[in-house]
């Protein structure tokens, strides 16, 4: 919603993300997404039973989430 802030943000993103898109192309893509109903969700997870430093998708909740996206 803030084109000036978005352009500055994309400039910072460009420093750490490798892409063949120009800053202008990234800006155009990002501004076109502002007209989209975009939602972020987290896949239900739990600690992996074999390694607590990893995660595993929690079932059946994860499967229900993926089914709802289709």
Please tell me the total count of domains within the chain: 2
Domain limits at 13?
3-33
Please give the pLDDT value at position 48. 96
Please give the pLDDT value at position 50. 96
Render pLDDT for 12-67 as a digit per residue (tens, 0 to 9).
Answer: 877 887 888 887 887 888 888 878 887 889 999 999 999 999 999 999 999 999 99
Asked if pLDDT for residue 2 goes beyond 90, the answer is no
Question: Do 44 and 66 share a domain, yes or no?
Answer: yes
Question: Is residue 17 within 8 Å of 5, Cβ to Cβ?
Answer: no
Question: Do 51 and 70 share a domain, yes or no?
Answer: yes
Question: Do 28 and 51 share a domain, yes or no?
Answer: no
- Which of 63, 28, 27 has its CA nearest to residue 43? 63
Question: Do 11 and 25 share a domain, yes or no?
Answer: yes
CB atoms near residue 32 (< 10 Å): 9
Question: Do 43 and 70 share a domain, yes or no?
Answer: yes
């Amino acid at each position: 919603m803030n084109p000036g802030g978005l352009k500055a943000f994309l400039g910072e993103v460009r420093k750490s993300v490798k892409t063949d898109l120009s800053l202008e192309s990234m800006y155009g893509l990002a501004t076109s997404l502002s007209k989209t109903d975009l939602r972020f969700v987290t896949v239900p997870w739990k600690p992996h039973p074999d390694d607590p430093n990893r995660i595993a998708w929690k079932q059946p909740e994860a499967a229900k989430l993926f089914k709802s996206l289709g």
